[in-house]
Amino acid sequence: MFRINKLTDYAVVLLVDMARSDSVRAAHQIAADTGVPGPTVAKVMKALVRSGLVRSARGASGGYVLARPADRIAVADMIQALEGPIAMTACVDTAEEGCEREGFCTMAGHWNRVNTAVRKALQGITLADMAAPTLPPPWAVEGVMASSAGQESYREGSRASS
């Protein structure tokens, strides 16, 4: 299973919160607003500042703010800030380490297509997309209402016949 690590998950939570508030806030305020523990917020913010996704300001009115608009920060950027280059396997063109089977591996070069597709998909979703409010699809709301109404009618009908 392909999974991002817990710190990356927290980074996305923090960035979404920052995109929604659009104001400079201290780490302790971000922690209080998101429910992420303060030490974790501090650790994640350091990585996000280092990667250029977040700016920090010192002083009494200091804190953290997005370094660029949310629609210019891709999910791929968020993942790479905490985990490094996106790669499904270690045997890709950009890998720093070689593989002992590299000379005769039948998969050599094929994983690059998968990595490119995953990276492209993650580049196509922005922080603004992630921060947008989610609404249930109309069919889900109608289905719940219709289902509830149907059950209510059934109950009323069964009471009437008893």
pLDDT at 151: 45
Q: Indicate the pLDDT class of residue 85, thresholds 50, 70 and 90.
A: confident
- What Rg do the C-alpha atoms of the chain give, in angstroms? 23
What CATH class is the domain 6-131? Answer: mainly alpha
Task: Judge whether residue 62 has pLDDT over 80.
Answer: yes
Q: How confident is the model at residue 72, as a pLDDT? A: 97
CA-to-CA distance for 22 and 140, rounded, in angstroms?
32
Mean pLDDT to the nearest integer, 64-89: 93
Share of the chain above pLDDT 90, in %: 52
The pLDDT score that the predictor gives to residue 152 is 42
30 vs 153, more confident = 30
The answer, yes or no, to whether residue 104 has pLDDT greater than 80, is no
Asked if residue 22 lies in contact with residue 30, where contact means CB atoms within 8 angstroms, the answer is: no
pLDDT greater than 60 at residue 158: no
Span 60-64, average pLDDT? 90
